[in-house]
Structure formats: structure tokens, C-alpha cells
Amino acid sequence: MTVFVERCALGPEQGMRVAIKDSIDVAGMATRMGSAAFDNAAPAARHADVVERLLDAGCRIVGKTVLHEFAFGVSGINPACGTPRNHRYPNRIPGGSSSGSAVAVAAGEADIALGTDTGGSVRQPAACCGVYGFKPSFGRVSRHGVWPSATSLDCVGVFASTLELLERATAIVDPRFEAQAFDGELRIGLVAVEADAAIAGAVRDYVTASGCSAGEVELQLLDAAFEAGLAIINAETWNAFGACLETGRVGADVAERLKRAAETSPQAVADAERVRQAFGEQLDALLERFSVLALPTLPSFPLMLDEALAGKTDLRSTALVRPFNLSGHPALSIPLDIDGRPAGLQLVARRGDDARLLAAARELERLVAINDNND
């Protein structure tokens, strides 16, 4: 199973095992971004801030994980470094771009893992692989030593097999985070979206099973926010990695996407920034009425692996996650299994309310478990 670019053993023998996406610096190890273009990269001189915090907390770094090249893809297919095999759903893609980190947790190779989420790159592979994935509010977790260095979308996020582990990890990498009990009434805004009927039904059934107060809401700018997020990631990724095309060592799928990204106009970026502002305001208004918003993580089931290996891709798999990178709101993917197929329930909260979001998720799971036991 191709999960790690390179294994290591940094930190105490008994510490919590952590896998690190290979877009995050670990001192003494090269950061290659999943690309043959960086095969000769020099070892990092120092740890990224998040790695330093993990080691200071007594964690053990077990290795750096494979990613979709340049963190610029959603399938996790990587011909240069190998494609991590989805441990729980081996016939389906692991998702991207943080594919190796999701697989490492799902396979028990690590207790927690760090990824980065620019357009769903933690939450989407988390849902594909059947684990929890959390994207914090933009700017809460240090990106010093994380690549690309210039971004208005990217966040360091956490994978874990349980909410408890997810909260422990988040408290380490985010110095302002303190786990809390959920207080008050849990009110859920169930976002109406275009999704596979089985996935939409499972999300609705889960929320209903909790017995929480819930109301259906619409995000009229959701599709526009998805397109705006694409425009901004295209412009920022071209600025960061476009010059790598000259090496001739960029994978065919990413090279083609980079060439298209080069065509992103300043006007498209300016238009996207206007959508960012309006969409954020729309979310903020809804989150005055609801504790969290709930919607599917994935609009459809993940691609079959053989389809992706044959060249098929599906950027629309990030249609329901990418908008919250644009707005900067914290978002969590809770794993769902629907008749042996992976999916996810996504919860979104107010910017800066990261601890309350995870507390709401814990309360939601508690209520669903109680009601299941009473049936």
C-alpha cells in the first residue's frame, strides 16, 4: 500500500502516532509536494509550526504521506509517487489531495494525520476513506512551513478515526482551541443541495434521528461560490507552481490543469472575490439562526478506482466542500456508510467557532446514539 513518501520516527516511542502530508515541512526531510519536479529538493531546515507543536505535545511523527501532485487534484491518483489504496473501500479512489493522510488513519498506520484543505482536500478524502476530516476557520492554524506559502484558501486540517482524537489533535495544532461541552439547544439548518438521492436521504435521516430542531435552508450562492473557489485556486496554484511546467516532470493530468489555470484572468479573480464576500455574509446570516448547517460532504459516491486510473476525474466532487474554503468557515466531515459505499455528513459553523462546531458534532452523535438505543 503506497501511503508514505518517507517513513521516519521523530518523537517519543509512546506518543500519539502522526502522519504528515508532504506539503508540510519536517526538518531533515525534503518537501516534494507529490511531484517528480521536486525530486532534488533540499531537506527542510526546520519543522513547520504545526509539526513543532505536535512534537512539543509528545506526538510521534511516523512519516510523510503521498498527495495528489501539488495538492491540485481530487482523485488522489499519483503516477510519480504511487496512489494510496483506499483501505476500507479498495475499489474506490482515496480522494485528494490529502489522500495518503486519509488512508494512513483509515488503515491504522497513524492515530491522526495532518492534511491541507484548499478546496475540500481534507474533507473529501476523509469521506472517501471513512474517517473524520476537519478544516478549521481560515487563519486559525499556522501555515508557516506549509506549501504553497501564499494562499487565501488553504488550511492545515486534521484526520482521525474518532471525534475524541480529532479534538485532541486540533487542540495541539490550534493554540486557541479548547474542547467544550455543547450548551443550549442544537439547532440544525439542513441545506438543500443537488446530491445523489441515497446520500441526501442518509444525511436527512441522520439529522432527523437526532431529534434536534432542524429546518431546511437554501444557499443561493453555493454554486457561484464553488466556481469562485475554482477561479481563486487556479490563479494561486499557477502562481505557485506554474514555473514547474518547464521541468517537463509534471504529471499529465496536473500539467493540463495548470495550463488551464494560467488562463484565469484578473477579472475572474475580482469577480470571485465579490462572491466570497456575498457568500460569507449569506452564511453568517443563516448561522445567526442555526447552531450549525448540515449537508452532504460529497454530492455523489466516489469514483471507482479503475475509472480514475483510466483518466476520469470529477471536480464536482468538491461542489459541496470548496465553497467553505472560499468563505473561511470551519467545516467537519463525519463518515457515513451507505450500503457499503462511502459518504459523509458535513457540518459548518460560524467563523472562529471551531470548538463549538466539534462540540455540536459530539452532541449530534450522542443524540443519534441515544435514539438508536431507544428504538
Which residues are catalytic, by number?
Answer: 21, 97, 121
Q: Which residues of 336-360 are buried (b: 16+ CB within 10 A; e: fewer)?
A: beeeeebbbbbbbbbbbbbbbbbbb
Q: Is 307 helix (H, G, I), strand (E, B) or coil?
A: helix
Four-CA torsion 164, 167, 168, 169, nearest 10 degrees: 120
Alpha-carbon span 174 to 56, nearest angstrom: 13
- Give CA–CA dist 245/360, Å, rounded: 44
User: DSSP for 44-111?
Assistant: BSS--HHHHHHHHTT-EEEEEE--SGGG--SS---TTT-PPP-SSSTTB---SSSHHHHHHHHTTS-S
Q: Are 161 and 132 in contact (CB under 8 A)?
A: yes
Nearest to 33 by CA among 322, 251, 260: 251
Burial label for 367, CB within 10 Å (0-12, 13-18, 19+), is middle
CB atoms within 10 A of CB 175: 12
